[in-house]
Structure 1
Amino acid sequence: MAGPRISTRPKWVGDLGTLGVIGLLFGAIYLLPPDNSYEAIRETGRITACMPTLYPPLVTADPAEPGFDVELLGQLAQRLDLRLNILPNAAMAKDFNPRSWRVTRAQCQVLAGGIALTTPVLSYLDATAPYLSTGWAVVSPEPLTSLDGKTVGFYAGLSGLDRVALSRSLRQMGLRPRIVNSAEALQAGLADGTLDAGISEALVARQIAGANDWSVSWAPGTEERYPLGIGLWKGDLTLKRRLTAALDQLEADGTVDRLKDKYDIADIETVIGGGAAPELE
């Protein structure tokens, strides 16, 4: 009795099927709507930015000096011939997790005011190149190579930096910082000699150092240092290209440096205890 017949299919049939699937995928890509993120904004003549309600020196409550990021976005909007609209969002200053801010495309096209370019953030948002950086920093009237034996003040500020990890690191170094309740109190303690050094979020420390011609360095024992940029939604490539080109112009013509000088944002070039400062901006 004859056995069952085994059907043999030529190998090229499977290859054709694979090519067909690949062709369908490429076709689907071409059917996607084109990116018109910049054109849509240009038609309205307005770009809306979600920003923290308060995050000095990036966002302040002073109309005369509204903040570094507020003025930077104003300059970018002007270069793109757009009006800037700011939508305050109090949640943005509390942490670096954009999913907890409850922001959507319908609310704003860009996000600024302390957008840390961390891996979790960049998994959710796209971003421009960084122009500032943050982390824990040490400010002091005179340059320091160590905090051993120093009276140190601590002001956390409004940032989403990890205070628990910093506290653990400082305890391991035998430090017990005095907690102060404002940047002004930290600056006053340094000015009158009550404190030898102050630890705070880097933008606060840099502003105190810049206003008083003091020294500022990255804090020892912590690697929590992040570049800051402007966030925008993934896929908005035409808008990103325009923002990037305009930001490059502001960097090249000295506008960014002038804003740093205006808001007393000193550069950080050293790390307490030695080591090269990371290139973050």
Structure 2
Amino acid sequence: MKKLLLAAAALLALSGAANAQTVRMGTEAAYAPWNFLDDSGKPAGYDVDVGNELCKRANLECTWVANEWDTIISNLVAGNYDAIVAAMSITDERKQTIDFSDAYYPPDPSRYVTNAGANFDFAALKGVKLGVQGGTIQAAYAEANLKDGNTIQSYATYDQAMADLAAGNLDVVLADGPYLDPIVSASNGAVVFAGPEVSIGEGYGIGLRKGDADLKDKLNVALEAAKADGTIDTLIAKWFPGKGPFYKK
């Protein structure tokens, strides 16, 4: 009897795997520790761990697609993948084009960084060359609030912006705090935080095509369970030491 039960359970598991919905996850793969390519060339990072965890819980067969940031939303809308898991902040502007899951990381302030020794008046920032990544909440904030009297330079990736900061071609970079934390720590004082924290967005969510309610519901149910049992907090602690816990009550 025991062998029959084990065989039935194995058959059920195989049947469930065979019937699993295939979901293609799009990510930038150039924004560590959120998302990047590991030594074997595969997407890795917090976004990827969260996506894989939710897919497992929702019985989804997930694959990953790396896509440049500036076309990541347009390629979702075009059907080249089914979801965006790429440290994308939930904003009213983006909601006009795509839907979002619930947040899988809470709002986190953006930060300014400069080269050590620089001294700028962030209360009335003027005459600086400011770097941002195009299509980000930081780029939108800079265009709306800092364009007057400053030069806003947009980059395809934040790595390019940081390289120009190190080369002296920029004065300031504005980016997500969690992205900048390890860069500042590893710079041995060459790059420093400056100015105030800037709160933008509603947290980080999974981007979905308008009307894809079934996938949105499946991901949100899985996400709620992963928050409640502490899994999301564990992944946050893995990739962002010292952050959280945010979700487990």
The interval holding the TM-score normalised by the smaller chain is 0.5 to 0.7
Q: Is the alpha carbon distance of 1:55 and 1:197 closer, same or farther for their aligned partners in structure 2, counting shifts above 3 Å?
A: same
Q: Which amino acid aligns with 1:250?
A: T
Q: Is the alpha carbon distance of 1:250 and 1:198 closer, same or farther for their aligned partners in structure 2, counting shifts above 3 Å?
A: farther
Are 2:87 and 1:114 aligned? yes
Q: In terms of Rg, which structure is larger?
A: 1
Tell whether the 8 Å contact from 1:112 to 1:229 is kept in structure 2 after alignment.
yes
Q: How does 1:100-111 map to 2 (within 5 A)?
A: 101-104=76-79, 107-108=81-82, 110-111=83-84
Are 2:112 and 1:138 aligned? yes
Counterpart of 1:156 (choices 132, 136, 146) is: 132
Report the counterpart of residue 246 of structure 1 in structure 2.
226
Q: Is the alpha carbon distance of 1:142 and 1:79 closer, same or farther for their aligned partners in structure 2, counting shifts above 3 Å?
A: farther
User: Following the alignment from structure 1 to structure 2, what is the Cα–Cα distance between the partners of residues 184 and 75?
Assistant: 31
Deviation, 1:216, is 6.3
User: Following the alignment from structure 1 to structure 2, what is the Cα–Cα distance between the partners of residues 54 and 204?
Assistant: 13
Deviation, 1:81, is 6.6
Q: Is the alpha carbon distance of 1:151 and 1:195 closer, same or farther for their aligned partners in structure 2, counting shifts above 3 Å?
A: farther
User: Following the alignment from structure 1 to structure 2, what is the Cα–Cα distance between the partners of residues 153 and 159?
Assistant: 18
Q: Structure 2 length normalisation: TM-score?
A: 0.59
Deviations 1:64-119 (A, max 9, x none): 673331233234445567653113444xx2268x4664344x943x4311332123
Q: Which amino acid aligns with 2:92?
A: T
Deviation, 1:183, is 3.8
Counterpart of 1:229 (choices 180, 202, 205) is: 205
Deviation, 1:159, is 3.7
Q: How does 1:83-232 map to 2 (within 5 A)?
A: 84-90=62-68, 93-94=69-70, 98=73, 101-104=76-79, 107-108=81-82, 110-122=83-95, 124-131=98-105, 133=107, 137-140=111-114, 146-147=121-122, 154-161=130-137, 163=139, 166-167=142-143, 169-172=145-148, 174-175=149-150, 182-186=160-164, 188=166, 198-202=172-176, 204-212=179-187, 214-215=192-193, 224-232=200-208
Tell whether the 8 Å contact from 2:110 to 2:138 is kept in structure 1 after alignment.
no
User: Following the alignment from structure 2 to structure 1, what is the Cα–Cα distance between the partners of residues 64 and 182?
Assistant: 23
Q: Structure 1 length normalisation: TM-score?
A: 0.53
Report the counterpart of residue 56 of structure 1 in structure 2.
31
Q: Which has the higher strand share?
A: 2
User: Following the alignment from structure 2 to structure 1, what is the Cα–Cα distance between the partners of residues 164 and 108?
Assistant: 18
User: Following the alignment from structure 2 to structure 1, what is the Cα–Cα distance between the partners of residues 95 and 140?
Assistant: 24
Deviation, 1:44, is 3.5
Identical counterparts, % of pairs:
14
Report the counterpart of residue 17 of structure 1 in structure 2.
none
Report the counterpart of residue 12 of structure 2 in structure 1.
none
Tell whether the 8 Å contact from 1:48 to 1:87 is kept in structure 2 after alignment.
no
User: Following the alignment from structure 2 to structure 1, what is the Cα–Cα distance between the partners of residues 187 and 150?
Assistant: 25
